[in-house]
Homo-oligomer: A and B are copies of this chain.
Amino acid sequence: MRVVTEKIKLKPTIEPKMLDITKDVQGVLDGTGMKSGQALIFVPGSTAGVTTIEYEAGLQTDFREAMDRVFPRGIYHHDEKWGDGNGFSHIRASMLKSSLTVPFDNGDLLLGTWQQIVFCEFDNKKRNRELVVQFTGE
């Protein structure tokens, strides 16, 4: 058993943006040579999140529209502090959460056929993101 901690550097992102990072995670896993265990994907930041989805254009739009409806843009108390108008970005990130754990076995992430790991950028300023990907296993 061992722990391997790596980073995945994304190209700059601004909301609303969803990136399929499945191949990135699988690629780093391949590099470790580990066969069985779990991949922890973590966003070190408070205005983005991570989840799984069937990554196709329609659902990307649906996800964006659901976020706009449920956690709308607008005036948030947070904006009084920094004046950068991204209160909604923070709320979306805290609700979706910054952490996701996916099991792997025989060297493969145990995802469904139509299930991808996605990074969700909620920040209204362009951000350079580096995700933490940590594998625990053997």
Interface residues of A (CB under 8 A from B): 1-3, 5, 36-38, 40, 42-46, 51-54, 56-59, 61-63, 65-66, 70-71, 76-81, 87, 90-91, 93-103, 105, 110-112, 114-115, 132, 134, 136-138
- A58 to B70 CA separation, bound complex (whole angstroms): 19
In the complex, which residues of chain B have a beta carbon less than 8 angstroms from the beta carbon of A91? 59, 62-63, 66
21 pairs, A vs B, C-beta closer than 8 Å = A3-B37, A5-B110, A38-B134, A38-B136, A40-B103, A42-B110, A44-B115, A45-B112, A45-B115, A46-B114, A51-B98, A52-B99, A53-B90, A59-B90, A59-B91, A62-B87, A65-B77, A97-B97, A97-B100, A98-B115, A99-B100
Copies per complex? 3
The smallest C-beta distance from A111 to any residue of chain B, in angstroms, reads: 6
Residue contact B53 to A112, C-beta cutoff 8 Å = no
Bound form: Cα–Cα A8–B138 in Å: 22
**A3 in contact with B80 given A58-B87, A96-B95, A97-B52 (CB within 8 Å):** no
Please determine whether B80 and A58 come into contact, CB atoms closer than 8 angstroms.
yes
- Whether A81 touches B58, Cβ cut-off 8 Å, given contacts A52-B46, A97-B100, A98-B115, is yes
